[in-house]
Amino acid sequence: MSDMRELSKGFDHATVDPKWYAFWESSGAFRADPASSRPPFSMVLPPPNVTGVLHIGHALNQTLPDIVCRWKRMTGHDVLWLPGTDHAGIATQNVVEKHLADEGTDRHALGREAFVERVRAWSRQSHGTITSQMRTLGSSVDWSRERFTLDDDLSRAVRRVFVTLYREGLIYRGKYIVNWCTRCRTALSDLEVVHEEQAGRLYHVRYPSATEGAAESGPAAEGGTDTEGADAARRGANAAEGAAGGGGVTVATTRPETMLGDTAVAVHPDDDRYRGLVGGTLRLPIIGRELPVVADEFVDAGFGTGAVKVTPAHDPNDFEMGRRHDLPQVVVIGEDGRMTAEAGSFAGQDRLAARKAIVERLEAEGLLERVEDHRHAVGHCSRCHTVVEPLVSTQWFVRIKPLAEPAVAAVKDGRTRFVPENWARTYFEWMTNIHDWCISRQLWWGHRVPAWYCDRCGSVVVEEEAPEACGCGGPLRQDTDVLDTWFSSGLWPFSTMGWPDATADLARYYPTSVMITGLDIIFFWIARMMMLGMKFAGDVPFKVVYITSLVRDAHGRKMSKSKGNVVNPLQVMDEIGADAFRFTLAALASPGMDISLSEGRLRGYRQFVNKLWNVSRFVLMNLPASLTERPPAPPPAGLGTIHRWVLHRVSELAAEVTRALEGYRFDVAADRLYHFIWHEYADWYIELVKPHLQEEAEDREQALAVLLAVHDRVLRLAHPFMPFVTEELWQTLPAAADAADDGRTPDGRARTVTRAAWPEPVAAWADDEAVSVLTLLQEVVTGVRTVRAELGVPPSRRLRLQIEHADPAERAVLDAHGEYVRRLAGLEAFEFVEAAPADPDTVRRLVRRMRLYLPLAGIIDRAAETVRLRREIDKISKQLGSLEGKLGNPKFRERADPEVVAETEARHAAARQRRQQLDEVLAELAP
RNA sequence: AGGCGCGUAGCUCAGUCUGGUUAGAGCGCCUGCUUGACACGCAGGAGGUCGGCGGUUCGAGUCCGCCCGUGCCUACCA
């Protein structure tokens, strides 16, 4: 028809999506406006690594906040969603180092400055990748406010925080035991160490008494092994059964290589076995050093032999114990993971090779009493998986307790709320057991520690800006370390808004409204933002933290490259479009449940997008070209039942979706939209409204007005979930007569659904009567359709339906809506009768109290019908039994809600009647 | 070792907080349909002892206890 609008047959996301993103961006649809009179709503984007690519975790953690932002924009908020990227110190540096290795060089050959420039160049180049992928996903961030953690102003914020904390004594520098990655050659924070349970060994080693030991294994014994002598020694050791027997002590260790650095042996003060030894000395095998025996509460008398070797330089507990007992630190493992000169003949060996050699040596000397299998957790570098080495090293630390306390209190008193609230527990647990935070890294890529050292007077100068010279006039050299990347991301919610300056953005948008992010960075990031935000920005960084789940593969397994089950969001979006992908993520995002991305769900929602597309095609092809304005929804009073029904339902939908979003139930919102759009709007309303849209229909205008009102609302409600397709479809609708209700870009020149008003429930549309009418129509139509399907009646065959036992109200409803029933059930006609027709080939079906009779001469399959009836009778008998049990129980009548009792009674009566009717029908069919 | 979760149809999941219709959805499966929006569709159907045992209750998928299975996080027992 010439005066009809048209849409292409299918939705082509590849061309549509980029078109609208470019439009939104250029028209400023996502720009926040601090001068606006609208209430503010703000979020900051968890900054992805600048050199990263969009992975499934980003996809979820951007889709959900994007849904919230788009919704809030439509509810009339001035929305700021601030994007940016993270320099990701160690991760990015590792990548570039790998590039250099491929080129046959390394960063030391390049030099610090050139290396940093190289990383910067790579970051610049890579930056476009992640940001364009965010656009593909549809993230409605305000690009005009994009930030990078290494930007000048953010770096200034980092220095301000560092200097302030230093002056307050909350940052200190010192020589402590830290987690050291021998491959990355840097210190790591506790969080960057991943513990993995591993099969290891527990070696029981005999440390002889100082006198005894001197003879057996001093330095003199080193260099050669006398097998005979060793055997003799072993026999001797075995003979000393008691742990403290023979003047020596047996200790148990999982890391024999560290024994070379032992400076004591410790026992529990109350351990009677060793009481006599405390204060005495033992002889360290191989090395021959004399070791004092100390008593310390830390020792667990029940573990191993109850005596523990103490290596203050290579074990965190021993480090503490060493300080308590004033023990020397002997460093036997270097920063490169090799044994140092202190390790005597083992010097230069890798720590693991040394372990083996030392065990052999002990064995040879007869000092290895026993080896047990022992499972224990071993720390690995989270970046390169190298086994982490505890080392004593000079580093910078943040004193965390004074910062953690207010951050805990803020969650306790609800200034920041976790959703789901269970996560607060995890947060508390970590925050109350937290250790000081090692923030210095021996890397080049990052914020350089703003500390300078004077070689002349030895003083340390900590300043925001590089000082000229030391107070003593001596030259200064800057600390070569950089800060942990999370130190700068911890400032993100306020550093990105201009802090330390008192900017308009900061005043308006801080604290942010919500933070939506994954559980994997609660400690790395959420906790640090809480601590630093409260300390420096004067308030919590966000009022709500929504913790998203982990995305897994279709079978609930963690995605990993080695398993080959990694879902690439870009590929998925390429195949099914961003809208279907986003809708799937939302639909699967049940709180507290990990998300299993199943192909079936993805496909199902792609088809849903297609459904929405085709509904729109239907709407459009029924719009006369003369209709250039979307008419306001007509008042329900003068409307037919189907219109009143759909208005009622779409109004309820608005309420349901809104409620779901308010509770962060993205899954519920998606489910409601899906069900309404497909199974109510498309399956029923569109089918019902068709005749009213005929050109000759006298109520066509009215039908069009309702159809457009519903369609417009549907697109708006679906927009946060499926931004691209809804914008494309919404743009094809005629603009509203009432411009106030019609989304406009900030410059007012173009329409956009991103800023259209969010549909509110309309009280005047509530219409339970229309619902009950539709329910009856649906039941009758479905009843007839079921008979047709089961008995294989071709659709072309128009049937005559007879209805018995309809009560007057039902008769009136069916009569009034006869045309709908005839059309949807494929009837030639229906009529009400007083008695069952005599025709033996008539099939009966029960709907409520009514009996539907369909004459099916030549088609009816009595046997099949009998089977079906028997099955139905079985079912209803079971139901009847349980209902009778319930009603027969006097306590039920006494205690249950009277409404429930009445309802149950009604159900019981209906079931009984139905049972009786079915029996009759069956008797007629199979006498 | 502690903490948190999960176990409902063949598969992926809602429903459990606030106990009470006939436990729902998508995918898959079966039957029939080129129905003038859509075969990425339409209509109909099969399929569930809600992990197990015990308890509370008139009534339990839902509340309580124990057990089994499974996943994750935290952790300085050498």
Overall average pLDDT of the A784-794 stretch: 84
pLDDT at A237: 39
A348 touches strand B (CB under 7 A): no
Estimate in Å the CA A263 to C1' B52 gap, whole number.
55
The answer on pLDDT for A214 being more than 50 is no
Rounded to the nearest integer, the mean pLDDT of chain A is 87
Task: Count Cα atoms within 13 angstroms, Cβ side, for A473.
Answer: 0
pLDDT at A421: 85
In three state form, how does the secondary structure of A484-520 look?
CHHHHHCCHHHHCCCCCCCCHHHHHHCCEEEEEEEHH
Estimate in Å the CA A596 to C1' B11 gap, whole number.
11
More confident residue, A891 or A768: A768
Q: Which residue in A781, A780, A787, A784 sits closest to A861, CA to CA? A: A787
Q: Give this complex's ipTM.
A: 0.94
A792 touches strand B (CB under 7 A): yes
Cβ-based neighbour number of residue A916 at 10 Å: 10
Q: 3-state class of A280 per DSSP?
A: coil
Q: For residue range A1-35, what is the model confidence (pLDDT) as tens digits?
A: 334 456 888 899 999 999 999 999 999 999 999 99
Strand partners of residue A333: A339
In chain A, residues 430 through 489 whose Cβ sits under 7 angstroms from any atom of nucleic acid strand B: 430, 433, 435
Q: What is the DSSP letter of A86?
A: B
pLDDT at A513: 96
Q: For residue range A178-211, what is the model confidence (pLDDT) as tens digits?
A: 999 998 899 999 888 888 888 888 898 888 887 7
Q: For residue range A697-711, what is the model confidence (pLDDT) as tens digits?
A: 889 999 999 999 999
A668 touches strand B (CB under 7 A): yes
A552 touches strand B (CB under 7 A): yes
Which positions of strand B lie within 7 Å of protein CB atoms? 3-6, 10-15, 20-22, 25-28, 31-33, 35, 37-38, 40-46, 57-59, 71-78
In chain A, residues 702 through 721 whose Cβ sits under 7 angstroms from any atom of nucleic acid strand B: none
pLDDT at A556: 65
Range with the poorest average pLDDT among A69-83, A119-133, A795-809: A795-809
Q: How confident is the model at residue A860 (pLDDT cuts 50, 70, 90)?
A: low
Estimate in Å the CA A872 to C1' B49 gap, whole number.
20
Helix axes A808-816, A768-791, angle to 10 degrees: 80
Overall average pLDDT of the A499-506 stretch: 94
A306: left (phi over 0), alpha (psi -120 to 50) or beta: left
CA dihedral A834, A838, A839, A843 (to 10 degrees): 50
What is the spatial distance between Cα A156 and Cα A344, in angstroms, rounded to a whole number?
48
Range with the poorest average pLDDT among A390-399, A433-442, A783-792, A811-820: A783-792
What is the spatial distance between Cα A663 and Cα A667, in angstroms, rounded to a whole number?
11
Overall average pLDDT of the A758-773 stretch: 92
CA dihedral A865, A866, A868, A870 (to 10 degrees): 160
More confident residue, A895 or A641: A641
Q: Tokens representing A152?
A: 């000048």
Q: Tokens representing A240?
A: 């000393």
The answer on pLDDT for A235 being more than 70 is no
What is the spatial distance between Cα A875 and Cα A695, in angstroms, rounded to a whole number?
48
A303 touches strand B (CB under 7 A): yes
Q: For residue range A566-624, what is the model confidence (pLDDT) as tens digits?
A: 788 899 999 999 999 999 999 988 877 777 777 888 888 999 999 999 999 999 999 88
Shortest-distance nucleotide from A423 CA to C1': B4
A426 touches strand B (CB under 7 A): yes
A301 touches strand B (CB under 7 A): yes
Residue percentage of chain A with pLDDT more than 90: 50
A674 touches strand B (CB under 7 A): yes
pLDDT at A216: 41
Cβ(A327)–Cβ(A262) below 8 Å:
no
Q: 3-state class of A198 per DSSP?
A: strand
Q: 3-state class of A591 per DSSP?
A: coil
Q: Which residue is nearest to nucleotide B35 (CA to C1')?
A: A795
pLDDT at A150: 95
Shortest-distance nucleotide from A554 CA to C1': B12
pLDDT at A482: 95
Cβ(A845)–Cβ(A786) below 8 Å:
yes
In chain A, residues 490 through 549 whose Cβ sits under 7 angstroms from any atom of nucleic acid strand B: 519-520, 523
A569 touches strand B (CB under 7 A): no
pLDDT at A487: 95
| Longest alpha-carbon distance in chain A | 119
Q: For residue range A427-450, what is the model confidence (pLDDT) as tens digits?
A: 988 898 888 999 999 999 999 999
Q: Tokens representing A286?
A: 């191989």
Q: How confident is the model at residue A243 (pLDDT cuts 50, 70, 90)?
A: very low
The distance of Cα A55 from the centroid of its chain, to the nearest Å, equals 12
pLDDT at A566: 75
A905 touches strand B (CB under 7 A): no
Estimate in Å the CA A203 to C1' B2 gap, whole number.
27
pLDDT at A858: 67
In chain A, residues 86 through 145 whose Cβ sits under 7 angstroms from any atom of nucleic acid strand B: none
Estimate in Å the CA A592 to C1' B54 gap, whole number.
28
More confident residue, A281 or A647: A647
A422 touches strand B (CB under 7 A): yes
Q: How confident is the model at residue A562 (pLDDT cuts 50, 70, 90)?
A: low
Following DSSP, what letter does each residue of A865-896 receive, concatenated? HHHHHHHHHHHHHHHHHHHHHHHH-HHHHHHS
In chain A, residues 180 through 219 whose Cβ sits under 7 angstroms from any atom of nucleic acid strand B: 190-191, 194-195, 197
The answer on pLDDT for A141 being more than 80 is yes
pLDDT at A4: 47
More confident residue, A358 or A277: A358
Q: How confident is the model at residue A240 (pLDDT cuts 50, 70, 90)?
A: very low
pLDDT at A211: 72
pLDDT at A927: 57
Q: What is the DSSP letter of A37?
A: S
Strand partners of residue A253: A203
Estimate in Å the CA A498 to C1' B22 gap, whole number.
61
Shortest-distance nucleotide from A793 CA to C1': B32
Residue percentage of chain A with pLDDT more than 70: 93
A390 — phi, psi (to 5°)?
Answer: -70, 125
Q: For residue range A814-856, what is the model confidence (pLDDT) as tens digits?
A: 999 999 999 999 899 999 999 888 777 788 888 878 888 888 7
pLDDT at A286: 84
What is the spatial distance between Cα A616 and Cα A631, in angstroms, rounded to a whole number?
17
Q: Which residue in A707, A580, A631, A645 sits closest to A17, CA to CA? A: A580
pLDDT at A395: 94
Estimate in Å the CA A488 to C1' B25 gap, whole number.
44
Cβ(A115)–Cβ(A444) below 8 Å:
yes
Helix (H) and strand (E) counts in chain A: 30, 31
pLDDT at A560: 66
Shortest-distance nucleotide from A787 CA to C1': B44
Shortest-distance nucleotide from A900 CA to C1': B20
- Provide the edge-to-edge strand list for the sheet that holds A842-847: A827-833, A799-804, A850-855, A842-847
pLDDT at A279: 83
Range with the poorest average pLDDT among A110-114, A366-370, A392-396, A866-870: A866-870
CA dihedral A459, A460, A463, A468 (to 10 degrees): 50
Burial class (CB in 10 A: 0-12, 13-18, 19+), A208: buried
pLDDT at A41: 97
Q: 3-state class of A355 per DSSP?
A: helix
Cβ(A759)–Cβ(A626) below 8 Å:
no
pLDDT at A215: 41
Estimate in Å the CA A846 to C1' B46 gap, whole number.
21
CA-based torsion, A685, A686, A688, A692: positive or negative: positive
pLDDT at A241: 37
pLDDT at A218: 38
A598 touches strand B (CB under 7 A): yes
A698 touches strand B (CB under 7 A): no
The answer on pLDDT for A230 being more than 50 is no
A316 touches strand B (CB under 7 A): yes
